[in-house]
Amino acid sequence: MIIIPAIDIIDGKCVRLTQGDYERKTVYHHSPLEIAKQFEAAGLRRLHLVDLDGAKAGSVTNWKVLETIAQHTSLEIDFGGGIKTEQDLQLVFGSGAAMATIGSLGVKDEDLFGSWIEKYGPDKFLLGADVRNEKIAVSGWLETTDIDIIDFIGKYAGKGITQIFCTDVSKDGKMEGPSLELYKKILAQFPQLFFIASGGVSSLADLEELENAGCKGAIVGKAIYEGKILLTELATFS
């Protein structure tokens, strides 16, 4: 299992939200590049970069941060937040992202996302599935749909998508442990996926449980910034 550290960006700064609430924001560092370099120095190879301004605005905003990190590190970056048009998508790829992270668009405009998968190839996308009570949540988690997580993943696995991360909205940013039972259920249905756990990770023990459950990756954010997991401790997974 690989560890994928997360950097969430607001106003060009490294922040974390609790349960996606912009009013519950903590600024951890003013330079995302410095944080990214620390991750790279610790032996981590990937980075989950989230443009929270872009997610709120509905168009990519912090692409310069992506460009800077891509130019000054060798991290493989997936970038998400506000990718709604092909112009946004091309900006993200042109700024150095290895993959575009797609979430709400995959729910709200299947035809558009499907056309991108055909044009750019499924390997260029990381599908994000935000879940509340096993139903897909969209629009910054403000809206819960009646779409079942298994059905959602099955649809895009059928289109060739292989990398998917799933965030249990009730767990994110609270460091109360990941949704192991949900992940086991998904992995039982789709053992071939490069499935990435996200949300709730608070300790090395959590990561070991995710690895034992069959997860291929885990996105870790707040636990690193709060010192619950040390970067030196993550070397065993990289």
The residues annotated with a catalytic role in the active site are: 8, 130
Residue 6, beta-bridge partner list: 48
Residue 76, beta-bridge partner list: 46
How many CA atoms, within 13 angstroms, populate the side-chain half-sphere of residue 38? Answer: 15
How would you class 113 by CB atoms within 10 Å of its CB: exposed for 0-12, middle for 13-18, buried for 19 or more? buried
- Which H helix or E strand runs over 8? strand 2-10
Which tokens belong to 98?
Answer: 């290895």
Q: Which residue has the tokens 């619950």?
A: 228
Looking only at Cα atoms, what is the longest distance across the chain?
43
Give the C-alpha separation, 225 to 174, whole Å.
13
